[in-house]
Structure 1
Amino acid sequence: MVVLSHPAALNELFLVKASCKPSSMFTGVPVVDLAHPEAKTLMVEACQHVGFFKLVNHGVPLELMTSLENEALKFFVQPQFHKDKAGPPDPYGYGSKRIGTNGDMGWLEYLLFTTNPEVVSPKTLFLLHQNPQSFRSGVEEYTRAVKKVCSEVLELMGDGLGIGSREVFSRLIRDERSDSCLRINRYPACPELSVEVEALSGRNLIGFGEHTDPQIISVLRSNNTSGLQICLQDGTWVSIPPDHTSFFLGVGDLLQVMTNGRFKSVKHRVLADSSMSRLSMIYFGGPPLNEKIAPLPSLMSSEEESLYRELTWREYKSAAYKSRLSDNRLSLFHKSPTATH
């Protein structure tokens, strides 16, 4: 429970002007049936115009998703002193309210696990070994299942783009050194703030501030509590109706680089609620740390120039950790207009 000892400071850190409004260009979240013959075409269209889509018939059992959700909730309802033993994050492990090291704050607590065998995190090792085996096996089984879906989606995207090798994206996720991670966010209900929020007409409680995901692709599953919003290309924020049976996939910064801007990494945020708790699980598909990332020549005509310089995931990840959530990290890697002359 949060004590409102400094309401003014809290308002500044956790409240944002509500700017969610209808858009004439947005007719709803693009929905892709993974088993549909035209799935690859629908994915490409969604990634080009929205950077985000809902995936149905993905093949991951609902029981597997709800099982991990329940295990995570068992952890989150424990006394704070017990949870704090797995934090502060390094960056993996347990964290609360503070997002990163640069001053970003959110109304949430979270668990962050790495799937990279080259990264040893004492916090996550402690976390997994101090909790029931069912929790550890739940994380592992869920991660394996979502990784499989993620790889299949990326291969269909490759087909849809007409790239020579359909594995050009998926091989980066399937690599045994893939630097992917799983994040479980819990946005507690905050009845203590309901009066303050209502008093500030047109303001909302920020759970996770606006940002793009730096990896290749993100696969999100949440409970049936609303709060997720995405920013359209015209700058309009729209709310995404929750669906606990489906996945929501978002283009990451690296996929925008590899497609030379054809796919757009989607800016998004989460608004917390004064009466309902939200829990989300996000798999971030990332390449090996030393993988070189650049626009794919097979997607570019002879007259087209690369918008981004070559980078490694290690380099980009480091820049992401040093930035604020809302910073445009990709701008640091844009090619200079004179670079090709």
Structure 2
Amino acid sequence: MAIATKIPLVNVECLNSLTKALISSAKPDQPLTISNVAIEAWYDANTVAVQQCARSIREAFRTMGFMYIENHGIPQELQDQLDASSRKFFKLPLEEKMRIRMSRGGLAWRGFFPVGGELTSGKPDIKEGLYCGQERSAQDPRVKARTPLFGSNLFPEKPAALAQAVLDYMKYCEAVGQGLLIMVAISVGLHPTYFIESSCADPTCLFRVFHYPPPATLKDPKLRDRSLWGVGEHTDYGLLTLLKQDNVGGLEVKRLDGQWVAAPPIPNTLVVNIGDMMESMSGGLFMSTPHRVLNRGGPDAMRLSFPFFFDPGFHAHVPPLPLTKKQQDDARETVAMRAMLLQQRWDLTGVTVAIKPDETYGDYLLRKVGKVFPELAKSTSATTPPTKSEQSKL
């Protein structure tokens, strides 16, 4: 297997009709769905383009673990609204943003965290952010059962447009994520609905908006340490990450040979990478690649990023993919090459033992997220989200 030297660009225009169909199916408290009949009709109408796209995705995930996608179908106007309203939010005074701090989000783990509030490999990241997820009402059975990560979002009163922009953008990302998993299934010879009828029938979708302030502007001298990163070297936990970048950039990806390669912003694209769970399910055929973020924020360059995480259902089990012998051999080749070139993974553990056989994805995810927010994880009985009137009194 050749070592990829740059991040490939994949045209996913053939997914647009699926994305539109999924968006039109949206219902409160429910995942986006589409019938097998509709998927088969889509495949029959786009067979050549779909097969070509699936091959490109497989090659990208096997050799780099990252790709850019273009023609993804997310409206530019919506992206612009999300960007503009997010910038307005992060320009608010800290005390204003802290009104929706994550500790107020209860078990849903939603809301704002300040600079240094999130850890990567035990070190504080030089970023602040807003954690969001699928909107689940108080009547949702999982909310009633006090299931972690389920509940309502904590959105600020100002800017008023941010909440709807986030929710609309998440719907599109969920639809694109479903389409990409259909492509991944096709790429390894599985039925197109393999993921969306099993581990991802009710996916866990999480969304973040991150702001990277210039270190020199921070009051805490410990956070002005230039050895700290916007986000330190890490891999993602789940299946797929869809990243919208602004025009500042700073993302770097670690190649198989250990060299770092920049992933600069390309207009009208998303960066897509796979996470540890996809690597584990594929036996190493697909790579969960270490990456990091340089903090390039400055007085005239306010850097934001918008990662969306598409993962298995909270209560789902995630068995290995039923790969062919040839695919298993390819996976072993990939794992062996990584071991030879990198000696060992950046985190010294590997992903083959990331989830125990009797665990659900939710068990695994809570253990992982607890390392990012250790103080928040100490209590699973945090207060319920404040009402808007309560927020105004904080």
Q: Could you tell me the TM-score, scaled by structure 1's length?
A: 0.76
Deviations 1:81-128 (A, max 9, x none): 010111145532101222159843111110011216335789985732
- Which structure 2 residues correspond to residues 110-189 of structure 1 after superposition, within 5 A? 110-115=129-134, 117=136, 118=142, 125=152, 127-128=154-155, 130-163=157-190, 165-171=191-197, 175=201, 177-189=202-214
Deviations 1:173-222 (A, max 9, x none): 863x42211111111234458xx9xxx9xx66510111111111000001
| SS of residue in 2 equivalent to 1:225 | coil
2:302 to 277, 287, 292: 277
Could you tell me which residue of structure 1 aligns to residue 70 of structure 2? 56
Could you tell me which residue of structure 1 aligns to residue 275 of structure 2? 252
The 1-side partners of 2:372 and 2:208 are apart by 18
The 2-side partners of 1:122 and 1:150 are apart by 19
Could you tell me which residue of structure 2 aligns to residue 315 of structure 1? 363
Could you tell me which residue of structure 1 aligns to residue 289 of structure 2? 266
| SS of residue in 2 equivalent to 1:226 | coil
Paired positions, count: 293
Could you tell me which residue of structure 2 aligns to residue 39 of structure 1? 53
The one-letter code of the counterpart of 2:132 is F
Deviations 1:225-264 (A, max 9, x none): 1210111122222111112421000101111122111011
2:251 to 202, 206, 228: 228
CA spacing shift, 1:172–1:132, aligned 2, 3 Å: farther
Mean CA deviation greater in 298-307 or 76-85: 298-307
Could you tell me which residue of structure 1 aligns to residue 32 of structure 2? none
1:289 to 298, 314, 336: 314
Give the Å deviation of 1:46: 0.5
The 2-side partners of 1:302 and 1:241 are apart by 32
More helix by share: 2
The 2-side partners of 1:299 and 1:124 are apart by 40
The 2-side partners of 1:67 and 1:33 are apart by 24
CA spacing shift, 1:102–1:204, aligned 2, 3 Å: closer
Could you tell me which residue of structure 2 aligns to residue 333 of structure 1? none
Could you tell me which residue of structure 2 aligns to residue 99 of structure 1? 118
The 1-side partners of 2:135 and 2:364 are apart by 16
The 2-side partners of 1:184 and 1:83 are apart by 13
Check whether the contact 1:180–1:283 (CA below 8 A) recurs between aligned residues. yes
Mean CA deviation greater in 179-188 or 29-38: 29-38
The one-letter code of the counterpart of 1:168 is Y
* Identity, % of aligned positions: 26
The 1-side partners of 2:228 and 2:121 are apart by 20
More strand by share: 1
Check whether the contact 2:199–2:317 (CA below 8 A) recurs between aligned residues. no
Check whether the contact 2:127–2:230 (CA below 8 A) recurs between aligned residues. yes
Q: Could you tell me the TM-score, scaled by structure 2's length?
A: 0.66
Give the Å deviation of 1:297: 2.4
Give the Å deviation of 1:129: 6.1
Check whether the contact 2:11–2:53 (CA below 8 A) recurs between aligned residues. yes
Instruction: Structure 1: state its 5+ residue gaps.
Output: 1-23, 326-341
Check whether the contact 2:281–2:318 (CA below 8 A) recurs between aligned residues. yes
The one-letter code of the counterpart of 1:314 is G
Mean CA deviation greater in 131-140 or 275-284: 131-140
Check whether the contact 1:94–1:112 (CA below 8 A) recurs between aligned residues. yes
The 2-side partners of 1:262 and 1:126 are apart by 36
Check whether the contact 2:297–2:303 (CA below 8 A) recurs between aligned residues. no
The one-letter code of the counterpart of 2:311 is G
